[in-house]
Amino acid sequence: MSETNLQVLLASRPQGWPTESNFSIVETPLPEPRAGEVLVRNHYLSLDPYMRWRMNDAKSYATPVALGEVMVGRTVGEVVTSNNSKFKPGDKVIGYLGWQLSGVSDGANLQVVADSKLPLSAYLGVLGMPGATAWIGLMDICAPKAGQTVLVTAASGAVGSVVGQLAKIHGARVVGIAGGRDKCRYVIEELGFDACIDYKAGTLRPDINAATPTGIDCLFENVGGEIFDSLLPRMNAFSRIAICGLISEYNSEPYPLKNIGSVLINRIKIQGFIVSDHMERWPLAHQELREHLTSGRIKYRESVAHGLRAAPAALIGLLKGQNFGKQLVKLI
């Protein structure tokens, strides 16, 4: 193993869209694990939309990344050296070691992979944070009944694809919104959604009306902005909205909603949520998702960038919708 480490640091805070110059890539000495610590060689880094928020110095649910610090991120990898009795060299582990090839952990945020027969990368997608997000937002907040209509935005992505497939398993009629014909074809033909609206086609409102003839009972919102505003008038009485993400607004001013009156008129229950507030639900969520995955009821797709140096461009691409499925960086 190389004696040096490679890290991506936050070099400056973006104003609006991030650029590659907001990051710096540095070679550093390989860290030495102390007593109680382990050294992990990361195999995959997960890229996620929340990382854009961590680049801002603004009040949020989590602390911003400091300038000059390693960018935060979930990782899967292998224990190389262990000074901690809970881990041994060769263990495959899920961690939060950030944008770097190797990292040291005291074990607190490190979990040994339960089932090594599944691809390691799945623990950053369906069996990781995005899968838990989909499960908690759908099952605990939206709680759809069989026959109801569930609409999910960013439908082909890491979270949205799991939301739609889970909702189908639970008997709902599922409509997705995605950018482009290929993504829409995928969610219908591969993932089994009932309908998909291509918001880039230029006919968003009539397409929403056509795809939701009996209105929407559960909206799993990943995008925000004009798409969210256009969906509000289609919500049924006593429907639910899980606000999971607002990705269309992460690099711009907030969108001024025009249809918020629908929340009152339709007595909509609307709840924002952050998956890390619900850690007690992760084991059940992952157990069910693992069963669906191994039985083939849930499928997933990945976009893989190669090498740590490709991470900044891949995060910028994710924010622009250039990913198709869970965005990862392969590090080995």
Ligand X SMILES: NC(=O)c1ccc[n+]([C@@H]2O[C@H](COP(=O)([O-])OP(=O)(O)OC[C@H]3O[C@@H](n4cnc5c(N)ncnc54)[C@H](OP(=O)(O)O)[C@@H]3O)[C@@H](O)[C@H]2O)c1
Closest by CA position to 329, among listed 98, 103, 43: 43
Tokens found for residue 143? 């709680």
Q: Tell me the closest approach of the beta carbon of residue 157 to ligand X, in angstroms.
A: 2
Question: Can you tell me which of 81, 248, 262, 266 binds ligand X, judged by CB under 6 A?
Answer: 248
Residue 121 binds ligand X (CB under 6 A): no
Contact letters for ligand X, residues 156-185 (x by CB under 6 A): xxxxx-----------------xx---x--
The number of helix segments (H) and strand segments (E) in the chain equals 9, 15
CA distances from residue 112 to 86, 251, 281 in whole angstroms, order as listed: 9, 36, 18
Q: Tell me the closest approach of the beta carbon of residue 43 to ligand X, in angstroms.
A: 19
Residue 332 binds ligand X (CB under 6 A): no
Residue 73 binds ligand X (CB under 6 A): no
Q: How far apart are CA 41 and CA 256, in angstroms?
A: 45
CA distances from residue 159 to 81, 130, 136, 234 in whole angstroms, order as listed: 34, 5, 11, 22
Query: Do 51 and 63 touch, CB atoms closer than 8 A?
Result: no
Contact letters for ligand X, residues 139-158 (x by CB under 6 A): ---------------x-xxx
Residue 48 binds ligand X (CB under 6 A): yes
DSSP per-residue codes, 74-118: -EEEEEEEE-STT--TT-EEEE---SBSEEEE-STT-EE-S-TTS
Kindly tell me which of 33 and 95 has the beta carbon lying closer to ligand X: 95
Query: Do 30 and 107 touch, CB atoms closer than 8 A?
Result: no
Question: Can you tell me which of 241, 247, 298, 305 binds ligand X, judged by CB under 6 A?
Answer: 247
Q: How far apart are CA 133 and CA 170, in angstroms?
A: 17
The residue written with tokens 């889970």 in the block is: 166
Question: Can you tell me which of 9, 43, 44, 49 binds ligand X, judged by CB under 6 A?
Answer: 49
Residue 286 binds ligand X (CB under 6 A): no
Kindly tell me which of 104 and 227 has the beta carbon lying closer to ligand X: 227
Kindly tell me which of 209 and 271 has the beta carbon lying closer to ligand X: 271
Q: Tell me the closest approach of the beta carbon of residue 140 to ligand X, in angstroms.
A: 12
Residue 62 binds ligand X (CB under 6 A): no
Question: Can you tell me which of 5, 9, 22, 50 binds ligand X, judged by CB under 6 A?
Answer: 50
* Burial (0-12, 13-18, 19+ Cβ within 10 Å), 234: buried
Which residues inside 256-275 make contact with ligand X, applying CB under 6 A?
273-275
Per DSSP bridges, beta strands 149-153 and 173-178 are parallel
Rounded to 5 degrees, φ, ψ at 28 are: -135, 165
Q: Tell me the closest approach of the beta carbon of residue 3 to ligand X, in angstroms.
A: 34
Residue 198 binds ligand X (CB under 6 A): no
Query: Do 324 and 299 touch, CB atoms closer than 8 A?
Result: no
Question: Can you tell me which of 33, 73, 98, 321 binds ligand X, judged by CB under 6 A?
Answer: 321
In the chain, what is the straight-line distance between the N-terminal and C-terminal CA atoms, in Å?
Answer: 11
Q: Tell me the closest approach of the beta carbon of residue 87 to ligand X, in angstroms.
A: 27
Kindly tell me which of 105 and 327 has the beta carbon lying closer to ligand X: 327
Q: Tell me the closest approach of the beta carbon of residue 184 to ligand X, in angstroms.
A: 9
Interface residues toward ligand X, by CB under 6 A = 48-50, 130, 133, 154, 156-160, 178-179, 183, 222-223, 227, 244-245, 247-248, 273-275, 318, 321, 323, 326
